[in-house]
Amino acid sequence: MFNGGRIFMPGGIGPVSQTTMSACARGDRAIATVRNANEIFYNLDGRRVYYDSAENWLYFVDAPQDPVIRTITAALGGMGAAVVIEQLHLDIHRTFNAARRVALGSGQAGAVLIALRLAGVSVTIR
């Protein structure tokens, strides 16, 4: 919402800071070498997945309106492969959900990653 050249949050919450505006405008965030799945989780969103080619894991977060799980299931189902999606957690008590991941074989990774890109999902490969 615009008012006098400034952008305001919907609902009249107040002006959007320059820091927030620039963070929202970034097109791509680089994911550096990470030590564990929780570090990957902080760089994901519903339109971004992370494929670890050394370990053959595809990490993602997904909401019901996001296409990630539907695309993975359709791509692997079309190849006759079983889809086993693992829910990761931020804590040892399994209270707080983190990312999900699925193991992809070498023959599956290319097809799944291309299908995700065609669905509009950004793919980061390490």
Looking at the fold, whether 3 and 50 belong to one and the same domain comes out as: no
Looking at the fold, whether 22 and 42 belong to one and the same domain comes out as: no
Q: What is the per-residue pLDDT across 54-80, written as a single tens digit (0 to 9) for each? A: 889 998 888 767 788 899 999 999 999
Residue 102 and residue 58 in contact, taking contact as beta carbons nearer than 8 Å: yes
Rounded CA separation 66/99 (Å): 14
CA distances from residue 91 to 14, 23, 37, 55, 61 in whole angstroms, order as listed:
35, 28, 12, 22, 17
Q: What is the per-residue pLDDT across 86-121, written as a single tens digit (0 to 9) for each? A: 988 887 888 888 888 999 988 899 999 999 999 988
Q: What is the total count of domains within the chain?
A: 2
Looking at the fold, whether 22 and 66 belong to one and the same domain comes out as: no
pTM of the shown model: 0.67
Mean pLDDT lowest among 16-20, 51-55, 71-75:
16-20
User: Which domain does 40 fall in, by range?
Assistant: 31-125
Amino acid identity for residue 62 in this structure: D
